[in-house]
Amino acid sequence: PGSMRRFQTGFELPGPGALRGACPALGRRLHHRCQSQTKSDGYLTCPMVIETAEILTKVETVPTPFWSSFAGSVGGLWLGHRAVYAPFSGEPEPIAMDGKNKVYYLSQCCVEERKLSEEGVDCIVRHEARATQKTVLEEQMRDAGKLEFSRIRDDSNEWEVDTIEQDQDGLFIFDGGSYSRGPLALCEDHFLQDDDEGEGYTPTEKVHVIENCLQWNGEERVRISVSFAAELIEPENGGPDPELDISLLRVAVNRETWEGVPGQYTSSSQSESDEKSKKDSGETRIPQDEMQGFWNVFEVHVSRVEDVDMKTGHLVTMPIYSSQEFQKVYQPGNMFEGPACALDGGTLWLPHRVVLQVSVPAASEDTGLEISMLW
C-alpha cells in the first residue's frame, strides 16, 4: 500500500582484549535522560517487531557509489524547516526564542558545495542559516549575495559551516544522495586502566551524534540527527564486566527541498502551495496501523572489511556494499505502561511521517546499538 526507506546503523563496542569487533560480555543499558515522566500521546512506543517472512533473493555484491555522483546529488541549495523533539516523549521542544515567545521550528537554508580543502581532501562544504521567520531567512540569503561562499568569510555568525570529507571515518554514502555518518564505536580501549586490584574501567562519558539522511528523487530529503551520551560504568550487579550506559539527549529533524543551484533562487520561485505543503508535512505523523503488515524490502548493506591497498600495499579498511530482497512483517510496538525514562529501546513516531527506532540487540546477538530511521 505504500513505500518507505529505512536506515539501520549498528555500532561495534570494543572491549577487553578486543581491538575490533564486539564484546559479548558487555552489559548494556539504554535510557532517556529526563527529569520526570512525560506523557507521550502515543508518539513513543515499544520497539517495532520486524521479522523476515521470506528471503526473495540471494546476497549480491553491488558497486561502491562514486563520490563524484554523491556530490552531484547533494550539491545545491536546500530550503526547509528544522525542529527538535524530546526522545522520551516525541513532543517538540523549543528551539529558539522570538521575543518572549518560544519557537518550535525554524526556517532553514542549506547550501552544499564540493571543494578541495587546504590539505587537498575532496569534501562537501555545507553552509546553513536559520531564522524564526522565512522573511528573515531570505534577508540573510540576500546578504550572502549569490551564495557563493568561496567569496564569503566562513566565520560569519549567521552561517554555520560543516564539512563532509571523502572517505572520512564513519561516513557511508549511497546512490541518490542518501548517507549515514557517525562514530564507528561507542567506547574505546583507552577506557581501560590498570589499578592496584588489576584491570578496571574509569567512567568516561562521551557525547556522540549520528546523522542519517534519506534523499528521494533528487529533490526531497529528510536529515535526522540523534545526540546521545555513552559511558562505561561499573556494573550494578557487581560483575567483572562494565556496562555501557546510553543516554538519549535530543532528536533533530530537517525536512528540505532542493531549490536549484546557488544564485538562481528567488522567493517568487516557491509557490504558496509548496510552502503550505511543507508546513502540513511538519504536522503529519504516520499512523501506526499503516506500518503493520507485510512489506517487500530491498536492502543495501555496507560493511567495513580490511584489505590491502593495491597502490600503497598497506592494510586499509574498505566499505563493501551488497544487496538482498526480503518479505518482512512489521508489527508496531505497544504503548509503554510505566515511566518512559528507563527503556531497552523504543520507537518515536515523528512529524514528516518519520519513524525513528533505537534499540539494543538481544544478549544472544552482537553487542551494540541499533538506530533505525524510516520515511
- Whether the CB-CB separation of 191 and 23 falls below 8 Å is answered with no
Residue of 246, 243, 203 lying closest to 227 (CA atoms): 246
Record the pTM.
0.81
Question: Three cell numbers at 109?
Answer: 537554508
Q: What is the largest CA-CA distance in the chain?
A: 71
Distance CA 242, CA 193 (A): 13
Q: 94 and 124 in contact (C-beta within 8 Å)?
A: no
pLDDT (tens, 9 = 90+) of the chain, 375 residues, equals 455 566 665 544 433 322 222 222 233 445 544 443 445 568 988 888 889 999 999 999 999 999 999 999 999 999 999 999 998 888 999 988 877 888 888 999 999 999 998 888 999 999 999 998 888 888 888 877 667 665 544 445 678 899 999 988 889 999 999 999 988 877 764 444 444 454 555 556 788 999 999 998 888 999 999 998 888 777 666 666 677 778 889 999 999 999 888 777 766 555 565 666 666 666 789 888 888 999 998 989 888 888 887 888 888 888 899 999 999 999 998 877 655 444 568 899 999 999 998 887 665 455 567 888 888
Rounded CA separation 311/101 (Å): 59
